[in-house]
Amino acid sequence: MERTREPVSAGTDHISPADPLPFGRRGIDISSLQDIRPAAEALRDMARDLSNFRVAVSANIASKLPVTDAQGNALAQSVFGWPSSKDQWWKKPLLALSSPLIFVCRYESEPFWANARAIHTRAPNPLLSQIDLSHFRESVNAESFIVVPVHLPFGQIGAISYSPIEPGREDLSREFALYADILEYHGRRFINGYSRVTSQRPWIARNCRLSKREVECLRWAALGKTDAEIATILGRSCATVRFHIHNAATKLEAVNRSQTVFKATQLGYLGSVAAISSTPAQPHG
Amino acid sequence: MERTREPVSAGTDHISPADPLPFGRRGIDISSLQDIRPAAEALRDMARDLSNFRVAVSANIASKLPVTDAQGNALAQSVFGWPSSKDQWWKKPLLALSSPLIFVCRYESEPFWANARAIHTRAPNPLLSQIDLSHFRESVNAESFIVVPVHLPFGQIGAISYSPIEPGREDLSREFALYADILEYHGRRFINGYSRVTSQRPWIARNCRLSKREVECLRWAALGKTDAEIATILGRSCATVRFHIHNAATKLEAVNRSQTVFKATQLGYLGSVAAISSTPAQPHG
DNA sequence: TTCCTACCTGCCACTAGTTATAGGTTTTGA
DNA sequence: TCAAAACCTATAACTAGTGGCAGGTAGGAA
């Protein structure tokens, strides 16, 4: 696994103690399925050496498929050391869709740490107050976690967590301060690589470019407005709104509005629609 | 700007030469609008000291709004040193939506570098062969770039680029190998922080959890299938499909299918639908 | 001059949304 | 363990909304 490139003067060769990274000076590259297992082993060793952390990985929080090596072995048991009798927290039916940590990964793109009492992000995030931690202990299989959400292209969200192997460590604020950056770096590299070699890339229309008007109409559609409503908002006719949305659909090679909105969202055309000028704040219930 | 936390033994204090990072051992924190300008200045200085790079930032590639400081001054001119007569490449009408580099940011989550001849990512990405570079020089305002895409929650995509200030440097492969990680780290921290303090957070239904069936039906809808088609695919009635989609909409507090798909995509429920078991590969045109 | 973007009109078939109800199965929590 | 909650499945009819198709004009940029 030693890289053939020249040594890097700016990289991770600063790591103390005693350079515990067994995979060189930067995140390990996963270029093929065969690279997965060695990369996972290196990641496991790094986390354990750094602070006796056990690693758990979800390449896609929307999927219950486990991360596996080239032979299909689940890395949770075969590399990361999760006991078979204690399933990964995202392997349980519905837990994949209900664990509070998963919710945080939807809302946050930076590392955070959590235990049964609270979720700690780098900066306050009011959305997190909505998250119900009352069933934390049943939802997860460690007492505390540092989690790195990884937002990938096409709306995919991955996550990697680091939790103490030994029992009783619930306060990770010091480890978070010391290690969040490095854990983020290596976790991102792993998930990026894993996702790249295992995913079929969604097919995207060739070199499409949506016009300003098309995007504008599509944004309102994505917010649930009907053609008539959009027409009123923009001071245009209903037919014109349809025209623009149809154009956008054609460019994105989508057959209907749902697919058009889906693809446009995946490509970041509609992201953070709160940024639309004169958009009213979203109503609160 | 010095941090009050204890020094970090594992961090970025390894940087050579001569620790050019003027803002301490890790990415600068942006906790309020007032932090933006100092963070931008530090970022500018880091990039210039590292390899005489000029910084350009887009917090949201879907928006033509420039990144600004607390007083509303555009950072491109006031901090990053872009000449006013030479607008940022994402400020020109339509260029924000057509620049080839923007396209790459939609498809990639890792740093890449580019010039008029080619786009160089860490690993081959077949989608990039579709990108037309024939108008590169008119589309952008530097000869070469290292770009860091930043995929944020809710489908927002940001980008930060580093381009040589002096003319004539078109091959950035060495700089990329040396510095991509550190440029990524600091770029991410800046965009994450900027986005956090300047964006209105989208309102998201409280603690919603979609059931397996709801997600499944929604995925097919997002792929453009009608209710009848989904019913056939799943071997269920059309009414059941509608019921599930309606339930999902209720949970997400969406008024129609477009909004439902939009929100579900933003939250990562539909990400990488190629991962759906038994999904046929997307057709190629 | 040509092409692209933007805008407009009308009609109709098809699809999605609504509303209410019923029953069976699985999961969750005490 | 058991009851409650959640999930899953299905029905019917009607209305609102979308998509397809056809036709057109105007202005700006290359």
- Residue B228 has what pLDDT? 93
3-state class of B228 per DSSP? helix
Protein residues contacting strand C, judged by Cβ under 7 Å: A 93-95, 98, 135, 138, 209, 211-214, 236-237, 239-240, 243-244, 256, 258; B 221, 226-228, 239, 242-243, 245-246, 249, 255-258, 260
Contact B230, B221 (CB under 8 A): yes
Distance CA B84, CA A87 (A): 58
pLDDT of residue B123: 81
DSSP 8-state class, residue A268: T
Per-residue pLDDT at B94 = 33
Q: Which of B113, B220, B224 is nearest to B160 (CA)?
A: B113
Q: Is A168 exposed, middle or buried (0-12, 13-18, 19+ CB in 10 A)?
A: exposed
d(CA A141, CA A87): 8
Q: Count how many pairs of residues, chain A against chain B, have C-beta atoms within 8 Å.
A: 281
Residues sharing a CB contact under 8 Å with residue A42, sequence separation 6 or more, in sequence order: A1, A21, A22, A23, A28
Å between B231 CA and D19 C1'?
A: 21
pLDDT of residue B273: 54
Q: Both tokens of residue A36?
A: 């997965």
Q: Nearest nt to A95, CA vs C1'?
A: C27
Tokens of B219: 């995925």
Q: What percent of chain A has pLDDT over 90?
A: 29
Interatomic CA–C1' length for residue A245 and nucleotide D20, angstroms: 13
ipTM summary value: 0.83
pLDDT digits (tens, 9 = 90+) for A92-123: 433 334 467 877 888 889 999 988 888 898 88
Highest mean pLDDT among A7-11, A113-117, B103-107, B221-225: B221-225
pLDDT of residue B174: 94
Domains of chain A: 33-198 (3.30.450.80), 212-275 (1.10.10.10)
Question: Greater confidence, A94 or A167?
Answer: A167
Distance in angstroms: CA A5, C1' D30: 46
pLDDT of residue A175: 94
**Rounded mean pLDDT, A209-221:** 87
Structure tokens at A143: 């007492």
User: What would the pLDDT profile of B29-77 be if each residue is shown by its tens digit?
Assistant: 888 999 999 999 999 999 999 999 999 888 888 877 788 999 988 888 8
pLDDT digit string, tens, across residues A6-23: 333 333 333 333 333 333
- Cβ–Cβ < 8 Å for B125, B161: no
- Contact between B71 and B80 under an 8 Å Cβ cutoff? The reply is no
Statement: residue B121 has pLDDT above 70? yes
Task: Please answer whether residues B171 and B115 qualify as being in contact, where contact means their C-beta atoms are separated by less than 8 angstroms.
Answer: yes
Lowest mean pLDDT among B12-21, B25-34, B109-118: B12-21
pLDDT (average), residues B130-158: 81
* Closest residue (CA to C1') to nucleotide D6 in the complex: B211
| Per-residue flag: A26 CB under 7 A of strand D | no
Question: Which residues in chain B (11-70) have CB-CB distances under 8 A to chain A?
Answer: 11-17, 26-27, 29, 31, 50, 60-63, 65
At B212, the pLDDT band (50, 70, 90 cuts) reads: confident
Which DSSP letter does residue B1 get? -
pLDDT of residue B83: 73
Residue B189 has pLDDT above 80, yes or no: yes
Question: What integer best gives the mean pLDDT of chain B?
Answer: 78
Sign of CA dihedral B102, B107, B108, B109: positive
**For residue range A42-73, what is the model confidence (pLDDT) as tens digits?**
999 999 999 999 898 888 888 777 788 999 88
C-alpha distances (whole Å) from A164 to each of A82, A91, A172, B177, B198 are: 12, 20, 9, 33, 35
Residue B92: which residues within 8 A CB-CB, separation 6 or more? none
Mutate to test the interface with B, among A101, A151, A214 (most CBs of B within 10 A): A151
Q: What is the identity of the amino acid at B246?
A: H
